[in-house]
Structures are given as structure tokens and as C-alpha cells.
Amino acid sequence: MKEPNTNELHRRTLVKSLLWRLIGIVWTWIGAYLILLFIPPSRQSAALIATLIVVYHHSTRMIMYYVYERIWASIAWGRSTSPCPMTRKEKVLWAFGTVAALTLLFLLLLEIQPNIDEEKRSAQFFSPQSTTLPT
């Protein structure tokens, strides 16, 4: 039997994404904490800890994502049975928001880049490897 064609509204996708990210952060933090707690200090190494965290994270998240999506499939909120194309106003707002976000990112990069360059110069100036002072 064919399922009816439904579209997911943007707000539903946004809520699902944010909720999944929050669950992921908490789940990874708990797992990493427990891994660090149960490995004796004499056996701790960065490679071992990183490997255990990656194995834990990816093996458990696969199962969690399946369950998460099945739960969301049973929730009707945020679905539309007919496609609703963006209105002219929504298109203009979307374009304006995109341009504004890109402009903000560009301006931040212009503001931050000189600070990064200055920190690099000061780090080179004070590094113990340099034997001569720059003039």
C-alpha cells in the first residue's frame, strides 16, 4: 500500500535537527565520561580513549537514530499533505536572510583575520625557537 505524499514543514525539520543535536551532545558526553571513568589511569592513552569514544558513539547512535526517526514518523505535527511553495514574501525574506548571514560572516572574517595574524606574529616573536629578534 502506497503512503500518501506528505511534506515536512521547515519548523518540523528544524525541531527534529535541534533535538537530535541536543540528544547527541548529551549522549556523547555521557559516553565519554563513562569511558574515562572506567579506564584505569595506568591504561589511559589518547589513542585508546579516542578509539573507544568513536566505537561507542557510532555504534550506539545508529540504533538511536533508527528509534528517533521511527518516533518522529508516528508524530503528525509539522507535516503538510500538499506541497506549499514559498510565497513571494518568503522568498524575499529567505534571500535577504541568506545575504545578511553571508555578509555577517564575511565581516567577521575581516575583523578576526588581523587578530589571528597578530597572534601568529607574537607567538613567533616569543617562541623559544627564534634566536634573533625581529626588527
Q: Is the pLDDT of residue 39 over 50?
A: yes
Q: At residue 6, what is the residue type?
A: T
Looking at residue 121, what is its pLDDT?
A: 77
The label of the residue with cell 579516542 reads 50
Q: How far apart are the first and last CA of the chain?
A: 79
Q: Is the pLDDT of residue 117 over 80?
A: no
pLDDT in tens, 41-79: 888 888 999 999 999 988 898 899 999 999 999 998 888
Quick one: pLDDT band at residue 2, thresholds 50, 70, 90? very low
Residue 80 sits at φ, ψ, to 5 deg, of -125, 130
The label of the residue with cell 543535536 reads 21
User: What is the reported pTM?
Assistant: 0.53
How many residues are listed for the chain in this entry? 135
Quick one: pLDDT band at residue 25, thresholds 50, 70, 90? very high
Looking at residue 110, what is its pLDDT?
A: 84
Residue 131 sits at φ, ψ, to 5 deg, of -100, -20
34-38, 56-60, 115-119: segment of lowest average pLDDT: 115-119
Q: At residue 53, what is the residue type?
A: I
Q: At residue 59, what is the residue type?
A: S
**The 3-state secondary structure of 42-101, one letter per residue:** HHCCHHHHHHHHHHHHHHHHHHHHHHHHHHHHCCCCCEECCCCCCCHHHHHHHHHHHHHH
User: Which residues have CB under 8 Å from 84's CB, separation 6+?
Assistant: 7
Sign of the Cα torsion 96, 10, 69, 18 reads positive
